[in-house]
Amino acid sequence: MNKPALKDWPLWEVFIRSKQGLDHKHCGSLHAADPAQALHMARDVYTRRQEGVSIWVVPSAAITASNPDDKGELFDPAADKIYRHPTFYEIPEEVGHM
């Protein structure tokens, strides 16, 4: 009875939207047999302390991720282009905080 079932269960990434939040944030992953069960388990594992009001689960296999080894070529070129931050514009008073 103690044979691990996990080997046969796909991995799911869990995204939770908190009560105040507008967006779903990644909060972890879990193993489950199917989407409905993944939702239930996400509820039990990740919302026990009222963390959320909405849950998404996504098969981990469906996510295409960038390769950490490509970090240099992907992200470093943006480092010296501070003019892409709109911090050089005068914001009119009536616009208020942006």
Binding site for other proteins (CB under 8 A): 1-2, 4-6, 9, 30-33, 36-37, 40-41, 44-45, 48
Provide, rounded to whole angstroms, the least separation between the CB of residue 9 and other proteins: 8
Query: What is the CB neighbour count within 10 angstroms for residue 85?
Result: 7
Provide, rounded to whole angstroms, the least separation between the CB of residue 15 and other proteins: 17
Provide, rounded to whole angstroms, the least separation between the CB of residue 46 and other proteins: 10
Residue placing its CB nearer to other proteins in the complex, 18 or 37: 37
Residue placing its CB nearer to other proteins in the complex, 17 or 31: 31
Residue placing its CB nearer to other proteins in the complex, 37 or 60: 37
The 8 Å CB, 24+ separation contacts for 72-77 are none
Query: 57, 35 in Cβ contact below 8 A?
Result: yes
Query: 56, 47 in Cβ contact below 8 A?
Result: no
Give me the sign of the Cα torsion angle 87, 24, 44, 6. Answer: negative
